[in-house]
Amino acid sequence: MDIVEKTVKDIIDLRIQGASEVRKRAVSALVESALGSKAKKPELFRKEFTKNIASLYCARPTEPELRTALRIIKRSVSEKGLTNEQMKQKIMQAAKEYEKNRKEALERISRYGAELIHSGSTIMTICHSRSVVDTLLRAKSKIKHVYCLESRPLYQGRVTANELSCAGIDTTILVDNAASTVLKKCDYFLSGADALLADGDVVNKIGTNQISILAKHFDVLHYVAASTHKFEAASFFGKAEPIEQRALDEVWDEKSTPTCTGRGKIKAINPAFDRTDSSTIGGIICEMGIFPPQVLASKLFDELELEKHEHEFLKL
């Protein structure tokens, strides 16, 4: 099994989790495979490279950040007449440049987010987001308390709680269904995003939508911290962002859970993400600043000149 096949399998089997980590490992595998390619002719190299991109692209349904990175790297070798060595150099350079831009984006997001948070704030989070964690760490001196939802069934919220607690931030973890018991004490609900959509809606860890609705009910501001790399340009052209459905055994262990005789198998749905309506989101904190969701979507449409690139964003 080569590095790309292994990475695809690890992504599918959830041994690699989190949008940023999925993107990072996928790009690393793509570059490693390209640099180690034994293809003799440029057309064979391109065929192998494109096949690897397609495999990684499809490894997880709800990952615009991964798709954005793969598109950018693929575009780096779009010029005709390149030798294998030239393509390898361009692929490596594009990956390095993308990673540099991502780090700079995360730094700016945390700075904008920390400036937003006022002194003595109590904050609720869900799941694990690098943008959210970095923002909270930068705003540490202004934070009174953070409530971390554990984010069942894979408990990524525990990772957030551990990182914040180790950094000296007063942190409490609680089950997802207990959110309403403490949300009214909070000043902010801060979440990440797996996808930013054309209408301003946000796709994130399952449970984000209901907490956002609760936050609006309690007059708690919901801010989303995410880079524009999470923006799914294809959503402007009617392409729906898929919601990944994960395995039954994450939420129901048939071997250890007793069932009624003759009732047949119990069914379960296990969506990994949900879609939060822009009307319940106070703003999106990105590397460009802080914007109302629909304003950011419109701005990105103009910045990317999407009216000229519909075909590009509706294919790999």
**Of the listed 127, 148, 186, 286, which one is catalytic?**
127
**Of the listed 148, 194, 201, 286, which one is catalytic?**
194
Alpha carbon distances (Å) from 285 to 132, 166, 196, 294, 296: 10, 25, 12, 13, 10
Say how far apart CA 166 and CA 103 lie, in whole Å. Answer: 22
SS3 147: strand
By the 8 A CB rule, do 25 and 7 touch? yes
Catalytic annotation on 127?
yes
Q: Report residue 122 as tokens.
A: 């109590």
Amino acid at site 135 = T
Q: Are strands 143-149 and 283-286 parallel, antiparallel or unpaired?
A: unpaired
Say how far apart CA 189 and CA 208 lie, in whole Å. Answer: 10
Annotate 131-170 with DSSP letters as a single string: HHHHHHHHTGGGEEEEEEE--TTTTHHHHHHHHHHHTT--
Bridge partners for 204 per DSSP? 274
Nearest 5°: phi and psi at 95?
-65, -40
Q: Report residue 305 as tokens.
A: 């000149």
Residue 213, Cα to own-chain centre: how many angstroms?
Answer: 21
Catalytic annotation on 148?
no
Q: Report residue 279 as tokens.
A: 């009307």
Q: How many CB atoms lie within 10 A of CB 316?
A: 12
**Hey, which residues are catalytic here?**
127, 194
